[in-house]
Amino acid sequence: MELRQLRYFVAIVDQGSLSRAALVLHVAQPALTQQLRQLEQELGGQLLLRSPQGVQSTDAGRVFYEHAQAILKQVEDARSAVTQSAERPSGSVSLGLPQSISGALALPLLNAVRSQYPEIALQLTEELTGSLAEQLKSGRLNLAVLFDDGQLTPFSCTALIEEELRFICRSGSAFTPARATVSLAQALQAPLILPGARLGVRPRIEAVTRAAGLVTSNVIEINSIAILKSALLADMGATILPVAPVLAELEQGVLQSYAIHDPAISRTVALCASRNIPLTNAAAAVGKLVRQVSAELCASGYWVGARLL
Q: Domain ranges in the chain?
A: 3-72, 86-161+268-303, 162-266
Residue 181: which residues within 8 A CB-CB, separation 6 or more? 258, 259, 260, 261
The whole-number pLDDT of residue 85 equals 58
CATH number for the segment(s) 3-72: 1.10.10.10
Rg of the Cα atoms in the chain:
23
Q: Which CATH number fits domain 86-161+268-303: 3.30.230.10, 3.90.70.10, 2.102.10.10, 3.40.190.10?
A: 3.40.190.10
**CATH architecture of the domain formed by 162-266:** 3-Layer(aba) Sandwich (3.40)
**160 and 270 in contact (C-beta within 8 Å)?**
yes
The whole-number pLDDT of residue 64 equals 87
User: Would you tell me the crossing angle of helices 18-25 and 3-15 to the nearest 10 degrees?
Assistant: 120
**101 and 125 in contact (C-beta within 8 Å)?**
no
The whole-number pLDDT of residue 181 equals 95
User: Would you tell me the crossing angle of helices 129-138 and 59-83 to the nearest 10 degrees?
Assistant: 60
Q: What is the pLDDT of residues 24-46, one digit of tens each?
A: 888 888 888 888 888 888 888 88
- The number of residues making up the chain comes to 309
Are the folds of 3-72 and 162-266 the same? Answer: no
For the question of whether the overall pTM of this predicted structure is more than 0.85, the answer is no
β-partners of residue 223 are: none
**228 and 168 in contact (C-beta within 8 Å)?**
no
> Three-class SS of residue 222?
coil
Q: CB-side exposure of 218: number of CA atoms within 13 Å?
A: 10
Q: Which long-range contacts (CB under 8 A, 24 or more apart) does 129-136 make?
A: 129/98, 129/199, 129/200, 130/198, 130/199, 132/96, 132/97, 132/98, 135/96, 136/96, 136/272, 136/273, 136/274
- Ranges of the chain whose pLDDT falls below 50: none
